[in-house]
Amino acid sequence: STNFYYYEGTKLVRVETDGLDTTIYLSYGDNETNIIWKNGGHSEDIEQNTIREQTTRKYDEAGRLVYEKSVYPSPTSEIEESIKTYEYDDEGRISKMTSKYSGPGFDLPSYYEELFEY
């Protein structure tokens, strides 16, 4: 597949992928990036402009990822959601990551949390 990249100044704002029939939109705020994945609609079995995933990433003052929330909307079932948080040690390495999930299709309760310590 081929990717096409579109910029506003130095910021990447859109990626179009012909092989995956997907367009990715990026927008930026203060210490935050918002990303939306949409189906391109070129395939007969994919509804055009359907949002597949929305992700918000937040960063600390040093530019390190500290929070990431992804939502996977579905017109036919319960919405799936993932939230990850990151903590860093004094040297700037990840020391703790917490993952929380909710949604259908898990062999666990509809909501569960995992903790990873490094």
Name 22's bridge partners: 17, 39
Per the CB < 8 A criterion, the answer to whether 66 and 60 are in contact is: yes
- Residues whose CB falls within 8 Å of the CB of residue 9, separated by 6 or more in sequence, listed in order: none
pLDDT class of 15 with cuts at 50, 70, 90: very high
The 8-class DSSP code of residue 97 comes to: E
| Residue pLDDT, tens place only, 44-95 | 555 556 888 999 999 999 999 999 999 988 766 778 889 999 999 999 988 8
The DSSP bridge pattern shows strands 32-39 and 51-59 to be: antiparallel
- Nearest-angstrom CA–CA distance, 70 and 54: 6
pTM here? 0.76
User: What's the mean per-residue pLDDT of the chain?
Assistant: 83
Handedness of CA 47, 49, 54, 57 (dihedral sign): positive
Residue 108 or 65, more confident: 65
Mean pLDDT for 1-30 is: 89
